[in-house]
Amino acid sequence: MNCYLIMGAPGAGKGTQASLIKNNYKIAHISTGDMFREAISSRTPVGLEAKKYIDKGNLAPDEITVYLVKERIQNDDCKNGFILDGFPRNLNQAKALDKLLKEEKIELKSVINIETDDKILIDRIVGRRTCPNCNEAYHIETKKPLKDGICDKCGSRLIQRADDNEEVVKSRLDVYHEQTAPLLKYYSKKGLVVNVDGMQDIDDVFNDIKKTWRK
Ligand code: ADP
Ligand code: AMP
């Protein structure tokens, strides 16, 4: 079984590309951010605990996050492989993932790194609209839904994420640069990083991902 990682700053386009990858390569898309938001809206103990961190733009505790991923990859939809979006986010999580993949005999094929300029990220995040049902991301300028405020895929009403505001974005970006970006070095040493220019249009980014896809 194969595992892929998609990395990049908040707003770089990880979820957007992972959704295209899921449809094209028929692998599961696992977003820890989506899992936390679902837990929050269902008011589970995990959701209530994680909310304290997410609201401030900090990382949720590693133990909870690793546990969620460990359980999630046991699902049947992961049998054909899966792409992790938003995980790992620090070195401790990366090491936990190595252990997990080894135990389950899963091969890490590549780490797709979407490169962006910090300058554009605030606009991408503040303009993002999200489907609370199927998690598809839209943008008020760059990816409008066919019908205003309605998800093209499932017809649900789009929302703006609570943490998609300028204040919280700044801490999310700081956390990314301090804790997550250093992982690129960790995976580069293993020859796993594939860089993709995330400043292009959505379709062009996806074309580059397809060109460098490792089977
Ligand atoms: P991430 O999962 O990395 O936080 P998303 O995939 O949710 O990012 O994208 C953030 C926002 O930017 C969304 O509103 C999305 O529609 C938009 N977006 C994603 N990729 C691009 C792109 N290449 N060009 C312009 N807008 C994009
Ligand atoms: P995302 O949807 O990836 O932008 O994540 C939204 C928020 O969920 C982050 O700002 C974190 O608070 C939390 N989160 C998502 N993934 C992780 C993770 N791997 N580790 C810790 N916190 C996470």
Average pLDDT over residues 106-122: 97
* β-bridge pairing 128-130 and 137-139: antiparallel
Check 72, 128, 129, 143 and give the catalytic one.
128
CA 139 to ligand 1 centroid distance, Å? 7
Q: Whose CA is nearest to atom 25 of ligand 1?
A: 142
Question: Could you tell me the residue ranges of all domains in the chain?
Answer: 2-116+166-211
Class of domain 2-116+166-211: alpha beta
Instruction: Let me know if 128 is a catalytic residue.
Output: yes
- The 10s digit of each residue's pLDDT in 157-201 is 999 999 999 999 999 999 999 999 999 999 999 999 999 999 999
Report pTM: 0.98
CA 145 to ligand 1 centroid distance, Å? 13
Q: Is the Cβ–Cβ distance between 68 and 46 less than 8 Å? A: yes
Residue whose structure tokens are 């605990």? 49
